[in-house]
């Protein structure tokens, strides 16, 4: 073989070995053979936390009836009321010769609850003294809305509910006088109150269900609420029992009022209603998140633009945000939300677009936090998010700091309006390091030749 051909084959062979050799990549070390390019990993950038106050949110037509209340050592006292109205039953039935038996309110559970199910839950049913009507220019009711009621209650009960096992529904007996009055109107063909919904709502405005300050649980029921009138009717050989149901008139008139009393708290959170945002530094390096009590956690990245000034910086390759619940702030009763989204926001703290990420199947999907719960020690419990795309957008936006761009942490709707699971996050400076919020960034640099 001529020498030139042999030399050429040797060069090709050596080039092939070099080209096929896989370079080991380690953070902070060269990743290319020319040693000009490096991946650097850093966790020195701060993810600043604060607690944002939510003044009001829609609760009408949610499909959920909230019952009860509880006292939370971190978030305050929370109490709920539910308002709704009814349509009259059909008057075409024959109510002649009938005799009143009973009047009940029937509530169907949806198996969701928050708090202590070993304690009895007291419930009061009261008649509304005014019709449920929307405010001007809106067709929605909010957590702060309420209507006046008549005293005393039409019915009360104390129940121990086992929503996951035994209890399917709650039945509350209402005053016999009201049931007899209903049956009398159904019998009287000339009585207009039962002839149509408009007349009935003018006569019977609706009901409100509430509890008392001793309640230790919030129970979720469906909006399939029935007021059942039972009556007897003589048969040929015996007395037969019948019933007629009053069903909800308008699902949009069904809504929950949620009251929060933070006067017993000993932190700055006590007065958050007077402020739109409280930095975690003023809350012992903690931030609070429970949308149903009017709180969201906001996350800012105030120094991220400094990355542009780093020597030989090229671009962000990946960024991971890890936010950890403060150890000891959650337990069997105060359990963590299984899903928390990150929503883009600005100085107005409105909920914007949810952050997406690439799923295991390769498609884009809304990030849920991938909650990992350390069941043994609790040291590694945390939510994790890919914030690569968001930081790439943020780092090149000169208005980011001025407009207070950031991310809001909240459960997705409709759980955010009907569920009470909550979380207390530790910021970067929280004393117990296992509860620290961490931002890890991998970025690319090129060293000068």
CA 379 to chain centre: 24
Task: Choose the weakest-confidence range: 80-84, 214-218, 315-319, 413-417.
Answer: 413-417
User: Percent of the chain beyond pLDDT 70?
Assistant: 90
Summarize the confidence of residues 36-54 as an average pLDDT. 91
Summarize the confidence of residues 7-24 as an average pLDDT. 43
Label residue 15 by pLDDT band (50, 70, 90): very low
User: Which DSSP symbol is given to 22?
Assistant: P
Q: Please tell me the predicted confidence (pLDDT) of residue 8.
A: 47
Signed CA dihedral, 92, 97, 103, 107: sign only: negative
Which of 218, 120, 142 minimizes the C-alpha distance to 422?
Answer: 218
User: Which DSSP symbol is given to 411?
Assistant: P
How large is the C-alpha radius of gyration of the chain? 31
Summarize the confidence of residues 230-245 as an average pLDDT. 83
Please identify which residue in the block is written with the tokens 């043994």: 376
* Residues 346, 352: Cα–Cα separation, whole Å: 9
Q: Please tell me the predicted confidence (pLDDT) of residue 239.
A: 74
Please identify which residue in the block is written with the tokens 């896989």: 22
Q: Which residues contact 22 (CB under 8 A, 6 or more apart)?
A: none
* Residues 103, 313: Cα–Cα separation, whole Å: 74
Tokens representing 102 are: 């009973």
User: Which DSSP symbol is given to 58?
Assistant: B
The CA distances from residue 432 to 160, 236, 324, 375, 429, in Å, are 38, 78, 11, 18, 8
Over the stretch 164-222, which tens digit does the pLDDT of each residue have? 666 789 999 999 999 999 999 999 988 899 999 999 999 999 999 999 999 999 999 99
Whether the per-residue pLDDT at 30 is higher than 70: the answer is no
Q: Please tell me the predicted confidence (pLDDT) of residue 449.
A: 62
Structural domain spans, the chain: 39-54+266-446, 64-253
Q: Please tell me the predicted confidence (pLDDT) of residue 111.
A: 80
Q: With contact defined as beta carbons under 8 Å apart, do 217 and 80 qualify?
A: no
Q: Please tell me the predicted confidence (pLDDT) of residue 24.
A: 38
Q: Please tell me the predicted confidence (pLDDT) of residue 207.
A: 98
State the chain's mean pLDDT as an integer: 89
Q: With contact defined as beta carbons under 8 Å apart, do 331 and 381 qualify?
A: no
Q: Please tell me the predicted confidence (pLDDT) of residue 236.
A: 66
Q: Please tell me the predicted confidence (pLDDT) of residue 274.
A: 84
């Amino acid at each position: 073989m001529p020498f030139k051909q042999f030399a050429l084959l040797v060069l090709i062979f050596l080039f092939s070995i070099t080209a096929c050799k896989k370079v080991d990549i380690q953070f902070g070390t060269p990743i290319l053979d020319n040693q000009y390019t490096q991946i650097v990993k850093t966790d020195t950038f701060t993810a600043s936390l604060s607690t944002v106050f939510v003044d009001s949110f829609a609760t009408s037509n949610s499909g959920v009836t909230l019952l009860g209340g509880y006292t939370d050592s971190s978030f305050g006292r929370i109490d709920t009321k539910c308002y709704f109205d009814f349509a009259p039953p059909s008057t075409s039935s024959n109510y002649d010769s009938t005799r009143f038996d009973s009047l009940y309110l029937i509530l169907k559970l949806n198996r969701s609850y928050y708090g202590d199910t070993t304690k009895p839950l007291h419930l009061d049913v009261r008649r509304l003294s005014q019709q449920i009507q929307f405010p001007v220019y809106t067709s929605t009711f909010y957590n702060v809305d309420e209507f006046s009621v008549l005293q005393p209650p039409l019915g009360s009960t104390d129940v121990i509910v086992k929503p996951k096992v035994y209890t399917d529904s709650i039945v509350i007996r209402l005053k016999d006088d009201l049931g007899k009055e209903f049956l009398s109107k159904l019998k009287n063909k000339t009585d207009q109150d039962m002839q149509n919904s408009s007349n009935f709502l003018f006569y019977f405005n609706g009901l409100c269900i509430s509890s008392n300050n001793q309640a230790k649980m919030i129970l979720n029921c469906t909006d399939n609420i029935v007021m059942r009138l039972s009556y007897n009717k003589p048969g040929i050989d015996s007395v037969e029992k019948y019933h007629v149901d009053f069903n909800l008139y308008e699902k949009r008139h069904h809504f929950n009022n949620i009251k929060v009393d933070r006067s017993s708290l000993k932190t700055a959170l006590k007065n958050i209603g007077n402020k739109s945002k409280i930095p975690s530094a003023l809350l012992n390096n903690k931030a609070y998140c429970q949308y149903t009590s009017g709180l969201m956690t906001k996350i800012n990245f105030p120094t991220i633009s400094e990355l542009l000034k780093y020597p030989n910086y090229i671009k962000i390759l990946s960024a991971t945000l890890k936010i950890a619940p403060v150890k000891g702030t959650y337990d069997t009763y105060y359990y963590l939300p299984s899903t928390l989204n990150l929503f883009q926001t600005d100085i107005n703290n409105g909920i914007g677009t949810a952050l997406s990420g690439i799923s295991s199947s390769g498609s884009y999907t809304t990030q849920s936090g991938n909650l990992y719960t350390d069941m043994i020690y609790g040291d590694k419990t945390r939510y994790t998010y890919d914030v690569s795309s968001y930081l790439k957008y943020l780092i090149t936006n000169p208005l980011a700091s001025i407009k207070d761009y950031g991310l809001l942490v909240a459960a997705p709707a409709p759980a955010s309006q009907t569920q009470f699971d909550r979380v207390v996050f530790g910021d970067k400076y929280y004393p117990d390091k296992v509860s620290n919020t961490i931002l890890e960034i991998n970025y690319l640099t090129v060293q000068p030749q």
